[in-house]
Amino acid sequence: GDSVTQMEGPVTLSEEACLTINCTYTATGYPSLFWYVQYPGEGLQLLLKATKADDKGSNKGFEATYRKETTSFHLEKGSVQVSDSAVYFCALINTGTASKLTFGTGTRLQVTL
């Protein structure tokens, strides 16, 4: 079946540091890929998405590129802020699953001053 693997956290960074959260996936067909962010005590917010190979999703300084050859969708940001502290979930929706998400386990990011 489909699966998503993302790096374990927590990831602790100083403000303005570079961020990379690795995500790889296993899926048949042509899944769409997503990054969601969850702030403490809240639901998930869609951060960015990519629907086909080589697409780059970007939002709020974050970006991720759909790499079919390496089955990866790594999340990157050039300069993190304290307000970016949250849990980040990589996920996919595969064709014909009626929007059913397959999640990674989540990566907690903590940014300090």
Closest CB to another protein among 11 and 101? 101
Q: Is 44 left (phi over 0), alpha (psi -120 to 50) or beta?
A: beta
3-state secondary structure of 83: helix
Size of residue set near another protein by CB under 8 A:
26
Closest CB to another protein among 4 and 80? 4
Residue 32 sits in the site that holds another protein (CB under 8 A): yes
Closest CB to another protein among 40 and 69? 40
Closest CB to another protein among 3 and 79? 3
Q: How far is 88 from 34, CA to CA, in rounded Å?
A: 10
Residue 94 sits in the site that holds another protein (CB under 8 A): yes
| CB-count burial class (<10 Å; 0-12, 13-18, 19+) for 78 | exposed
Residue 105 sits in the site that holds another protein (CB under 8 A): yes
Residue 89 sits in the site that holds another protein (CB under 8 A): yes
Strand partners, 91: 34, 103
Residue 88 sits in the site that holds another protein (CB under 8 A): no
Q: Which of 26, 79, 95, 112 binds another protein (CB under 8 A)?
A: 95
Residue 57 sits in the site that holds another protein (CB under 8 A): no
Direct distance between the N- and C-terminal alpha carbons of the chain, in angstroms, rounded to an integer:
41
CA 45 to chain centre: 11
